[in-house]
Structure 1
Amino acid sequence: MLPLPISFTSSSRHSRRPGSRHYRSTRDVLLTRARITNLGFLLLASFAAFSFLLNLVWYLDGSDEHVHDHQGPYAAPRGIWETLARDRALKDIDHLIMVPGHAIWKGTNLEARLDEEQWVLEPYQRGGGRVSAFFRHIMAGAELARDDEHSLLVFSGGQTRPSSTTTEAESYMRLAYISNLLPTTSSDILRATTENYALDSYQNLVFSIARFYEYTGRWPARITVVGYEMKRRRFTELHRAALRWPLDRFEYVGIDAEGDTEAAQQGELQNGYLPYTQDTYGCHGSLLSKRRARNPFMRYHSYYSSAPELGPLLNWCPGPAEGGQTVKYPGPLPWDHGK
């Protein structure tokens, strides 16, 4: 309680009847000068209470609409995260559907989408129905996303070809868009995005999880990958296990090219599956060389700051000091307890 003004204290000894010349109204008391006026105190208190309630509402309700500052060594600068605001429609998204890129579509004519000349391809990707398989991957991923309103479709793949000015993911997204395949929310918010930095299949998976968090503000509860059937074991047995992602929350939809042969299967075994059995995180020898060769534009990702809980995992590259190149990341992960 603030001290009363001297004039009021002295007058309080006298009668306070309305007829008394010492009687003072409540308004007069509030306006009486003191160290701080009582009216000023009430105004300040009211403002403080309103500010507290406003901040409380923002804190309790803001996780769906705002991107908060991160703590720790990979914290995003305020100038970045304060520019981001997520739509409420994304708050129930919990299913990551990832389509890894294998080439770059450079076309503009939907009718020519299966023309190999409209794609940036490696020599071994020509013929055998590979381009048709790429489009079937896109269609299957989009169909799964349209059927599940709680899903986010992520096309993953970096700017891997020196002759292209775009990324694998962006070209897949563009082809899906002009094909009218992309899913939306009930408020017409697009439930599809790109992950533009992955240089191999392991990065397709881990970077897409990071991109999911970057886009929605939460970690996925389920993951579905749509890709080549011949790569099922690589994703399910090796990459998923490297991330310690629960098997019962992981699905793989395999679609091979119609012309895939025994040679293609052997190529996957020798150049994909077996190397990852000896180098789990792809950060040594031939697998590291592939990443470097696929990064002609010197791109690097933002996930250290946008998904900082994955920072130590993204840095994990076990060697002799850790017990060998196949030692699993031992630290905590956001999905350890079903978060």
Structure 2
Amino acid sequence: MDLTADSTSCLKRNLSFNDTLAGPVRHQRNGFTYHPAHQRRKQKMRTQRLVRQLKSVAVLGTALVCLVLFASSLLGEGGVGVSGRDGASEGANTAKARIQETLGLFGNGTSAFLSGEDDGTRFDRAQSPLKGLTHLVVVAGHSVLRYTDASRVEENESWYLEPYMEVPGQAATFVEHIRSGVEEAARDPRAILLFSGGTTKVKAGPMTEAQSYWTVAEKLDWFGHADVRHRAFTENFARDSFENLLFSLCRFAELTSEYPERMAVISYDFKRERFAGVHRRALRYPEARFRFLGSEYPAQNLERASEGERKVREKFESDPYGVHGELKQKLYARDPFVQGARYTNSCPEIQPLMRHSGRQIFAGTLPWDKHHVERGGR
């Protein structure tokens, strides 16, 4: 029996069978059979790997170029024309000064922040940038800006308005509130101006009422009080008038590490009792240290607005913290982007108040209690 002939015949039959399943064998290399399909897959994998590597190189290269340009822009102003270590030092000082200006730091114990010395926490109120300021001015927001053209901010078409707000002169009242807030803060160099209001309009996208008011003040050059700009901030989560006050108190503590010694609130005059009465009592904020600055509402709709205000005020009188029934539903309706209630960690002193859902006035200790102020505590 010729074993070699039989083996060769068997191999030919196997190759013929495999060829019918997988296609013709094109070539052999080093004693191994290669199929075209295998080659195509390998080539595709090599190409994909090469593309990924090229993309990675491009991204890293772009990041490096941007980093170099950014560093040059920070150090360039102070280092141009000055050589050696003095030039580098001056450039670094200029960069630090620009950071200070941007953040509104006024040399009040923030050296640890600028030097990078911290305890690793994500939010440290000890590094609050505005220590020493004691007066809070709150402008309660009512709408979101549609256009940023400074010449049109007093026109209703420039704002996202609810149907009941579509009355002549409505937008002008927003600008008047902003002006009043800026002027009130300008009178006291120890005052912080807070525009308060969240993302309440789904049509407006994630733009907040507070950001809208700040933008208007910026477009109108702060009504001639440019110094207020560095003391003007936003509170971007309030969904109703009670949260305008509660959240602004916490936001003030974030900025200064203390709670305000006095507080002024700006809104419509027909809402005076709601803010200065119902909400202030719910917060137990001292009446002697609370001011309400009211403005006129468009006369065409004043009677209707006053009647609506009476109904809302009655609801808050029976539900001071606005967490039941229609008032709670309104919170959800005014939170289309589901931001929720924030400040749950940054102000531990008032967490019991924030969690209070009873219909009775909160009885726990608060930072602005009279005896705390007399002792100098928070």
Judge same fold: TM > 0.5, yes or no. Answer: yes
Q: Does residue 65 in structure 1 map to residue 86 in structure 2?
A: no
Work out whether residues 221 and 249 of structure 1, in 8 Å CA contact, stay in contact via their aligned partners in 2.
yes
Q: Give the alignment partner of residue 81 of structure 1, picking from 113, 123, 132.
A: 123
Work out whether residues 128 and 256 of structure 2, in 8 Å CA contact, stay in contact via their aligned partners in 1.
yes
- C-alpha distance in 2 between matches for 1:64 and 1:301: 30
Q: Give the match for residue 334 of structure 1.
A: 367
- C-alpha distance in 2 between matches for 1:281 and 1:294: 16
Letter in 2 for 1:335: W
More helix per residue: 2
The range that moved more, 283-292 or 161-170, is 161-170
Percent identity over paired residues: 37
Residue correspondence of structure 1 range 261-276 to structure 2 within 5 A: 261-270=302-311, 272-276=312-316
Q: Give the match for residue 181 of structure 1.
A: 222
Work out whether residues 185 and 191 of structure 2, in 8 Å CA contact, stay in contact via their aligned partners in 1.
yes
Work out whether residues 97 and 154 of structure 1, in 8 Å CA contact, stay in contact via their aligned partners in 2.
yes
Q: Give the alignment partner of residue 159 of structure 1, picking from 199, 203, 210.
A: 199
Give CA deviations for 1:141-183 in whole Å, capped at 9, x if unaligned.
1001011101000000000011112000000001111111175
SS in structure 2 at match of 1:81: coil
Offset of residue 217 of structure 1: 1.1
Between the two proteins, the alignment pairs up a number of residues equal to 258
Give CA deviations for 1:60-115 in whole Å, capped at 9, x if unaligned.
xx9842799xxxxxxxx94412598444xx33210000000000112121001122
Q: Give the match for residue 35 of structure 2.
A: none
Structure 2 CA distance for partners of 1:63 and 1:150, relative to 1, 3 Å: closer
SS in structure 2 at match of 1:163: helix
Structure 2 CA distance for partners of 1:244 and 1:81, relative to 1, 3 Å: same
Offset of residue 128 of structure 1: 3.7
Q: Does residue 168 in structure 1 map to residue 202 in structure 2?
A: no
Residue correspondence of structure 1 range 1-339 to structure 2 within 5 A: 64-65=109-110, 78-81=120-123, 85-87=127-129, 90-165=130-205, 166-181=207-222, 190-259=230-299, 260-270=301-311, 272-318=312-358, 325=359, 327-336=360-369, 337-338=372-373, 339=378
Q: Which has the greater radius of gyration? A: 2
Work out whether residues 132 and 257 of structure 1, in 8 Å CA contact, stay in contact via their aligned partners in 2.
no
Give CA deviations for 1:296-330 in whole Å, capped at 9, x if unaligned.
10103441211111111100001xxxxxx2x1111
- C-alpha distance in 1 between matches for 2:310 and 2:341: 29
TM-score, structure 2 length as denominator? Answer: 0.64
Q: Give the match for residue 41 of structure 1.
A: none
Could you say which structure has the greater relative contact order, defined with CA pairs below 8 angstroms and 6 or more residues apart?
A: 1
- C-alpha distance in 1 between matches for 2:348 and 2:111: 17
Work out whether residues 67 and 81 of structure 1, in 8 Å CA contact, stay in contact via their aligned partners in 2.
no
Offset of residue 257 of structure 1: 2.0
SS in structure 1 at match of 2:344: helix
- C-alpha distance in 2 between matches for 1:184 and 1:308: 34
CA RMSD of aligned residues (A): 2.3
SS in structure 2 at match of 1:280: coil
- C-alpha distance in 2 between matches for 1:213 and 1:79: 17
- C-alpha distance in 1 between matches for 2:108 and 2:352: 24
User: Any unmatched runs of 5+ in structure 1?
Assistant: 1-61, 69-76, 319-324
Work out whether residues 155 and 172 of structure 2, in 8 Å CA contact, stay in contact via their aligned partners in 1.
no
Work out whether residues 239 and 335 of structure 2, in 8 Å CA contact, stay in contact via their aligned partners in 1.
yes
- C-alpha distance in 1 between matches for 2:145 and 2:108: 37
TM-score, structure 1 length as denominator? Answer: 0.72
- C-alpha distance in 2 between matches for 1:93 and 1:141: 16
Offset of residue 277 of structure 1: 0.8
Letter in 2 for 1:208: S
Structure 2 CA distance for partners of 1:103 and 1:209, relative to 1, 3 Å: same
SS in structure 2 at match of 1:153: strand
- C-alpha distance in 2 between matches for 1:86 and 1:283: 30
SS in structure 1 at match of 2:203: coil
Structure 2 CA distance for partners of 1:189 and 1:118, relative to 1, 3 Å: closer
Give CA deviations for 1:6-28 in whole Å, capped at 9, x if unaligned.
xxxxxxxxxxxxxxxxxxxxxxx
User: Any unmatched runs of 5+ in structure 2?
Assistant: 1-106, 114-118
Q: Give the match for residue 14 of structure 1.
A: none
Letter in 1 for 2:335: N
The range that moved more, 111-120 or 199-208, is 111-120
Work out whether residues 125 and 254 of structure 2, in 8 Å CA contact, stay in contact via their aligned partners in 1.
no
